[in-house]
A and B are shown apart, each in its own frame.
Chain A
Amino acid sequence: MKKILLFSLFSLLFLLSACGEKEDTDSKRVITANVSSEGGKQLINMMAKGGFEPNETVAKSGVDSIIRVETRGTFDCSSSLVIPFLDYKTNLPPTGVTDIDLPSQEKGSTLFGSCSMGMYNFEIKFI
């Protein structure tokens, strides 16, 4: 009985660590590679298929941005994208590119988006 309990506790810890993939990103203060500029705006590239890639983006604050989401044969939840704080919801095409306008964000703020079920998500930190 004790063995079973120990096994369960161990597995539970494993589960929690698998789901909560929060890393300490304070050390990462560098603009990530998926951020570039286009026509005077900051361009944040992202891929949506079975989740959002990259999961965490670090971008510049204080400038207007475009989030460009690419889909390639995407039928899962990540095709229905929501950004709660912008009150934004869209259904991405199965294959294609969708631009989302993003007004300038405050320094130190974090914007997160997710699929409509909330099981896939991404974060953009503004520095």
Chain B
Amino acid sequence: MYKKYTFHISGMHCGSCVLITEGELSEINNVKSAKAKMNEGIVEIEADFGERTDKEILDELNMALDEYGYTLSLEKNVVPKKWKDLFYAFPLAIVFMILFIVLQKMGIVNLVNAEKITLPTVFLLGIIASLSSCMAVVGGLVLSMSATFAKEGDKFKPQILFHLGRLLSFFLLGGLIGVIGDFFILGRTSYFVLGLISGLIMLILGLNLLDVFHFAKRIQFTLPKFISLNLLKIRELNHSLVPFLIGAITFFLPCGFTQSMQIYSLSIGGFVSGASIMFVFALGTLPILSLMSFSSVGLKSEKVKSIFFKTTGLVVIFFALLNILSGMTAYGILPPLFNL
């Protein structure tokens, strides 16, 4: 005898989650059909579980969904909004922002006085770039993405793939710049649009990390649904291909140092020199960017984690606004508002 069951589901946040949930549940014995409704946060199942209690049924269903981080329950699971943790996150974020601004005011970019560019100089420039205003652009993106994945329980793979994508694209595109010239160097409008898009992504992820607003929840790092051919591969792709591609795209993000290095590679010419300059530069940015990627690894207690993600969220929002506003200045939409 098939009966209809309705459960509340938590942990579902994207289009592909619906597909995964429905796919996993309908593969369970006795389940005839499963329909997930993301907006209402419920799953409707038509199944024949005989005389088993609701609790036993839930346990079996939850086992199938466990690896994806979704949970079914009879009662609506109200996640307490941890506003209180913001009291700690706010001052922490401010301290970080002050450090960032002081570092710029101290003139960290003036540390390099080289007349001649050698590979060790390029490496040093990479380190300085990752501490300077480029941190607001690339660092902000790294921080928001890494923290978002870490929050979903994935602390290493997506982050490592991001850095691999970045290193690989700097190597290949750097080489191409050396061969075919300024084809890969973007114009003013392209930089503006790319900067704006990455700023908006950071803003949304930052708001998500705060965990106090619900409207931003639905927007996640996901591939469009039509690419999602194989249900089980979706999550895997979202956590591998997406960070890899984002890493690769950072080649084009507006960061002054990156652009200087691209121009320099262009002026030198040749695949090998272009590739090695851009690769070594990306390598120089790696230590600081990795630090931002893996800063959540050691955190154990839920309380500390919540404060950490909220702090990260605030810093990311600060960087995002800084990027968007200064991008508008560079495009002539806004007058200069600040000078780092």
Contacts and interface: CB of A to CB of B under 8 A. Distances in A.
Interface residues of A, number: 45
Contact of A82 (B112, B137, B330): B330
A69 to B, nearest CB: 15
Contact of B339 (A8, A21, A89): A21
B254 A20 contact: no
Interface string B47-76: 000000000000000000000000000000
A91 B133 contact: no
Interface string B307-340: 0000000000000001101111111100111111
A116 B254 CA distance: 7
A121 B337 CA distance: 9
Contacts of A4: 87-88, 90-91
Contact of B136 (A80, A82, A114, A119): A119
A55 interface: yes
A49 B107 CA distance: 9
B101 A18 contact: yes
Contacts of A65: none
A116 B115 contact: no
A21 B337 CA distance: 8
B336 A117 contact: no
Nearest to A5: B87
Interface string B270-290: 000000000000000000000
B264 A117 contact: no
A77 B133 contact: yes
What is the predominant secondary structure among interface residues of chain A facing chain B?
A: mixed
B91 A7 contact: yes
A79 B260 contact: yes
Given A11-B98, A50-B109, A116-B330, A91 B339 contact: no
B132 interface: yes
B148 to A, nearest CB: 24
B247 interface: no
Interface string A68-95: 0000111111111010110101010011
B8 to A, nearest CB: 34
B125 interface: yes
A116 B259 contact: yes
A50 B259 contact: no
Interface string A1-41: 10011011001101100111100000000000000000000
Contact of B336 (A1, A7, A80, A112): A112
A19 B97 CA distance: 11
What is the predominant secondary structure among interface residues of chain B facing chain A?
A: helix
Contacts of B326: 114, 117-119
B337 A20 contact: yes
Given A77-B256, A114-B336, A117-B255, A91 B95 contact: no
A97 to B, nearest CB: 15
A115 interface: yes
Contact of A123 (B97, B332, B336): B336
Contact of A76 (B88, B98, B256, B335): B256
A76 B257 contact: yes
Given A116-B330, A119-B326, A79 B339 contact: no
B144 to A, nearest CB: 18
B227 interface: no
B256 A84 contact: no
Given A20-B337, A115-B330, A118-B327, A94 B101 contact: no
A15 B181 CA distance: 41
A50 B128 CA distance: 11
B98 A75 contact: no
Contacts of B261: 75
Given A94-B117, A116-B256, A118-B326, A8 B340 contact: no
Interface of B: 87-88, 90-91, 94-95, 97-98, 101, 105, 107-110, 112-115, 117, 125, 128-129, 132-134, 136-137, 187-188, 191, 195, 254-257, 259-261, 263-264, 322-323, 325-332, 335-340
9 contacts: A4-B88, A18-B105, A21-B338, A51-B339, A73-B113, A73-B114, A84-B330, A89-B188, A123-B336
